[in-house]
A and B are shown apart, each in its own frame.
Chain A
């Protein structure tokens, strides 16, 4: 393994030195109920933020709650529980900070948690009433800016905290940060395997937002970083640029340290001499963080122990470094990274296509009665189809399938005793389709398919008749209805209509249909 590790730096390991008692409620929900499309990365977003807050953000795991696939009442209960703990800590004289993070659907003024709703106004009120000294709400969802009253909401690259920081008292108040304004969509990216905002927020919290270089990422630094990167990366997106907004109502020393990088045991260190955009991928090739580094200052990225791949585009080549982070910091320098053609890995760190395997049983039926009479009799078919989604973009999926089947029938010829036959059919094809999410669990797909079909038949009790066969290509249309009944398994009803040109005897334009029921298994995380 080529390692980019040139220098291992021993670091001082210590417990987080936060003055406050910190609490965190982290919610990720991919499902938004009827009328919404399941989000691919909401739960992963939540887990990333949960991990960062508990590892670097000074939140003890006992004071943190991670909710996925939860209801509105679950959130209310968890928030009330953390509020009670914050109340107790406050009564004991401790300064307290409460983080609330949400990644999921929001629409019409509500957070959508499955089929339940949590009004943004209610959540805002709960945060305002929370006994914690500082309440920080981070919302990565469409139109999440609606949680803020219009007055005072600012889509700006940085907080104006200079005046507040001059105060001598501890910070207190409410900060709300939303990934998009009240009329914007918050976007996910298959390239980075996350929502844009959370990805850059996480990258910033891991260290890339530490503009001051003091080893601490403050709320202002994190927001400024996430704002710039989110707007920059979504500027060219089809859905349009996404502008994070904030409402800042902190008194006292008005900035809050969100993460401290020094206590972390493992880290990547990008030396001052290098510059550029680095992408850090974990062992499953998912983007963990990005580092947009200017020349002249060192940048430290606090990471969990593990194996990572660091990539950087440099003109028409790709620099790749494989590093193992353990209880020390590892320096990543351009000079020690491997140079590869850019075509080797054009992805920023995508999770790649989603693969699935469908097993199906069904039948085939030719529309023309003459063709059905022994030539192409109704057949039973069993097959498998490997499909790839999120591989082509534009919501398109593709698949390769193969099927085998056959049956028995009689050939009827004028004046001739019916001739019994056994036939075998082998087929396969390539499909391209578009998925349309009808509900959380129901998806309709429609597309086109080009297939081959091979038929062979032999005649029972007629040894004098030779075996016959036929091969051709058949274009067609395909439609599927997926019902996802577990995380990985879906029941599938699939229909196809195909065209077949037959020309052994008189040329005929034939059509046939295939109907199948199957079970689809989704691979991957």
Chain B
């Protein structure tokens, strides 16, 4: 009887649940996977029939974009865990989640803190969030730090610092992950949306060399891609690419091969159609296979370039 009364009294004074508009405000400031996706048009499937050969640089760009997307999704999976968990503590301008078990890594504990700053009109303009993880009895280590400017992630500017050095130390890294801090910078506030991966602190990551990777996607589907990757055929050399593409997948790339001792080969210009077939090449070093090693090489008509 007494316990029943106690339960009733508890229910009477305790409003239970997670119904909160303010929680929504915090969650809307966190970036989502699709908001940071690199949208590279899918190449055609009839490249074997290409007269001047396949645009292998562009094809590798698509592959690289997929790798980047996978990497970003892996990062944001940590952020997504916040959405599924009710905040542990709520203050006017901050939230804390956890510590709670990391569902992706059994035996590990995660805790998240998030705070915001409001402007004079009470509109949030800056958000800061930190994700820390530990494996008991070790202490927490920061594995992700984020900063966001705006009220909602879908149209704001943000930065995410990934502490791969700590995920590596904790043993929760992926084999392809770098072992040094990396930054994702994104600007979704205007057209184009830009996403950049700054790997300048280290050597390689996500199959890329330590370099700045940039992507700019416009609302109508066309975009620009800047990245660098190791040249498989010339060990020690990297290929630096700037590619422009249409929403349909046709495009133009300019790349230069940088090798040790200050040697550079380029720039080489290639244009391709929606089937990723080269329609134009201006290749002074005959790096394009269809050139057959004849330098300088000029294939197709420049007017065939879509961009």
A471 to chain B, nearest CB (A): 5
Q: Determine the distance from Cα of A457 to Cα of B17 in the docked complex, in whole angstroms.
A: 11
| Interface check A373, CB cutoff 8 A | yes
With contact pairs A465-B27, A470-B16, A470-B19 given, residues A415 and B83 touching in the complex (Cβ less than 8 Å): no
Kindly state the separation between the CA atoms of A417 and B84 in the bound complex, as whole angstroms: 22
Over the window 445-482 of chain A, the binary record of Cβ atoms lying under 8 Å from chain B Cβ atoms (1 yes, 0 no) is: 00000001001010100001110111111000000000
**Complex Cα–Cα for A465 and B123 (A):** 20
Are A503 and B15 in contact (CB-based, < 8 A)? yes
Residue of B nearest to A475 (CB): B12
- What distance in Å separates the Cβ of A449 from its nearest Cβ neighbour in chain B? 14
Given A415-B152, A455-B19, A506-B92, is A501 in contact with B13 using a C-beta cutoff of 8 Å? yes
Per-residue CB contact flags for chain B residues 88-116 toward chain A (1 = under 8 Å, else 0) read 00101000000000000000000000000
Measured CA separation A349–B154 after assembly (Å): 72
A411 within 8 A of B: yes
Q: Which of A390-438 contact B (CB under 8 A)?
A: 411, 413-417, 419
Give the docked Cα–Cα distance between A465 and B124 (Å): 18
Instruction: Tell me if B122 is interfacial: C-beta within 8 Å of chain A.
Output: yes
The reply to whether A411 and B21 form a contact with Cβ atoms under 8 Å apart is: yes
Q: A413-B21, A414-B124 are in contact. Are A472 and B16 (CB under 8 A)?
A: yes
Contact (Cβ within 8 A) A416 B28: yes
The answer to the question of B3 belonging to the interface, with a C-beta cut-off of 8 Å to chain A, is: no
Q: Are A468's CB and B32's CB within 8 A?
A: no
Q: Which residue of A lies closest to B8 (CB)?
A: A473
Q: Are A469 and B19 within 8 A (Cβ)?
A: yes
Q: Would A414 and B121 count as touching, CB distance under 8 A?
A: yes
Q: Please tell me if B18 contacts chain A, counting CB pairs below 8 Å.
A: yes
Residue of B nearest to A415 (CB): B151
Chain A residues whose C-beta falls within 8 Å of the C-beta of B121 in the assembled complex:
414
CB neighbours of B90 from chain A (8 A): 504-505
Cα distance A472–B17 in the bound complex, in angstroms: 9
Instruction: Identify which of A465, A469, A506 contacts B17 (C-beta below 8 A).
Output: A469
Contact of A464 with B83 in the complex, beta carbons under 8 Å:
yes
Q: How far is the CA of A465 from the CA of B154 in the complex (A)?
A: 13
* CB closest residue in chain A, given B154: A417
By the criterion CB–CB under 8 Å, are A468 and B11 in contact? no
Contact A465 B20 (CB under 8 A): no
Q: How far is the CB of A333 from chain B (nearest CB, A)?
A: 43
B21 / chain A contacts, CB cutoff of 8 Å: 373-375, 411, 413, 505
* In the assembled complex, A523 has its CB within 8 A of some CB on chain B: no
Q: Name the interface size band of chain B.
A: 20 to 34
CB contact under 8 A between A415 and B15, given known A464-B83, A468-B23, A504-B90:
no
**Complex Cα–Cα for A459 and B83 (A):** 13
Interface residue? A502 (CB, 8 A): yes
Pair B123/A415 contact, Cβ less than 8 Å:
yes
Which of chain A's residues has its CB closest to B155's CB? Answer: A417
Closest to B152 in A: A416
In which size bucket is the chain A interface? 20 to 34
Q: Judge whether A470 and B15 touch: CB under 8 Å.
A: yes
CA distance A459 to B21 in the complex (A): 12
A residues near B22, Cβ cutoff 8 Å: 505
Nearest-neighbor residue (CB-CB) of A473 within chain B = B12
B150 in contact (CB, < 8 A): yes
- Nearest CB of chain A from residue B156's CB, rounded to whole Å: 9
Closest to B86 in A: A466
**Interface residue ranges of B123-178 to A (CB < 8 Å):** 123-124, 150-152, 154
When distances are taken between beta carbons in the complex, the residues of chain B under 8 Å from A411 are 21, 24
Which residues of chain A have C-beta atoms less than 8 A from B123's C-beta? Answer: 414-415
Q: Given the complex of chains A and B, what is the CA–CA distance between A502 and B28 in angstroms? A: 22
Whether the Cβ atoms of A413 and B25 lie closer than 8 Å is: yes
In whole angstroms, how far apart are the Cα atoms of A136 and B15 in the complex?
A: 68
A468 neighbours in B (Cβ, 8 Å): 17-20, 23
Contact A502 B15 (CB under 8 A): yes
Contact A504 B151 (CB under 8 A): no
The reply to whether B12 and A415 contact each other, CB–CB distance below 8 Å, is: no
Determine the chain B residues whose CB is within 8 A of the CB of A415 once the complex forms.
Answer: 123-124, 150-152
Contact of B84 among A413, A466, A502, A505 (CB under 8 A): A466
A375 touches B151 (CB 8 A): no
Contact A470 B83 (CB under 8 A): no
Contacts of B124 on A, CB cut-off 8 Å?
414-415
B14 at the interface (CB under 8 A from A): yes
Residue numbers in A under 8 Å from B15 (CB-CB) = 470-472, 500-504
Separation of A130 and B73 alpha carbons in the complex (Å): 103
**Inter-chain contacts of B23 with A (CB < 8 A):** 468, 504-505
- Across the interface, A473 reaches (CB within 8 A) one of B11, B25, B92, B150, namely B11
Q: Please indicate the chain B residues that have their CB under 8 angstroms from the CB of A504 in the complex.
A: 15, 17-20, 23, 90
- How distant is the Cα of A215 from the Cα of B40 in the complex, in angstroms? 109
Cα separation A203 to B150 with both chains bound (whole Å): 86
B92 and A414 contact, CB distance less than 8 A: no
Q: Please encode chain B, from 233 to 251, with 1 for each CB lying within 8 Å of some chain A CB and 0 for all others.
A: 0000000000000000000
Smallest Cβ-Cβ distance to A459: which chain B residue: B24
Do B152 and A469 touch (CB < 8 A)?
A: no
B88 smallest CB distance to A (angstroms): 13
For A473, what are the chain B residues with a Cβ–Cβ distance below 8 Å? Answer: 11-12
Which A residues from 482 to 514 make CB contacts under 8 A with B? 500-506
What distance in Å separates the Cβ of B251 from its nearest Cβ neighbour in chain A? Answer: 32
Complex CA–CA separation, A213 to B97 (angstroms)? 89
Return B93 CB to nearest CB of chain A, in Å. 11
Contacts of B24 in A (CB 8 A): 411, 413, 416, 419, 459, 465
Please indicate the chain A residues that have their CB under 8 angstroms from the CB of B28 in the complex. 413, 416, 419, 465
* Interface pairs A-B: 7 shortest CB-CB: A415-B151, A470-B19, A470-B17, A472-B15, A414-B123, A415-B123, A416-B152
Known: A415-B124, A469-B19. 9 other contacts (CB 8 A): A373-B21, A414-B151, A459-B24, A464-B80, A465-B27, A468-B23, A469-B17, A471-B15, A505-B23
Query: Mind listing 13 A-B residue pairs with CB under 8 Å?
Result: A375-B21, A414-B151, A416-B25, A464-B32, A464-B80, A466-B18, A469-B19, A471-B17, A472-B17, A501-B15, A502-B15, A503-B15, A505-B20
Residues of A within 8 A of B (CB): 373-375, 411, 413-417, 419, 452, 455, 457, 459, 464-466, 468-473, 500-506
